Amino acid sequence: MQKWPDDDVILFDGVCIFCSRWVRFVAQRDTTKRFRFTPIQSDYGAKLARTFGIDADDPDTNAVVHGGEVFMKSDAALTVLSHLPGWSWTHALFAVPKPLRNAMYGLIAHNRYRIFGKYDACFVPDADLRARVIE
């Protein structure tokens, strides 16, 4: 697996309402401010996406770099959740077979714009969250 120099970086689709809510969800619960965020539409996010084979024009996953490695789809979501204070119980969900987890993830990812909507431009976080965004 390819390494990435920055750690605990979440790559997300910045125009996806669901994805942006995910970022706010994580940021509110990440009391130690461990995770940082990068929209795939930013220069940094596009470079990260290209490095790991994610189509920046039609992303089908978010990703997280943790421990120098990239995790995608359900592995990304569970890796993030299991490192949030009070959410370590979600680590047990790794026991669910990965094909089943990724099938559920893919169903939501494929329909996210239709179900949740899409911003016209990348969402702009508040000042506190803005300090944790890498562009």
Domain range annotation of the chain: 9-123
Q: Is the pLDDT of residue 117 over 70?
A: yes
Average per-residue pLDDT in the chain?
A: 90
Sheet holding 9-12, edge to edge: 36-39, 9-12, 63-66, 69-72
CA distance from start to end of the chain: 24
pTM of the predicted model, to two decimals?
0.90
> How high is the pLDDT of residue 123?
72
- The alpha carbons of the chain give a radius of gyration, in whole angstroms, of 14
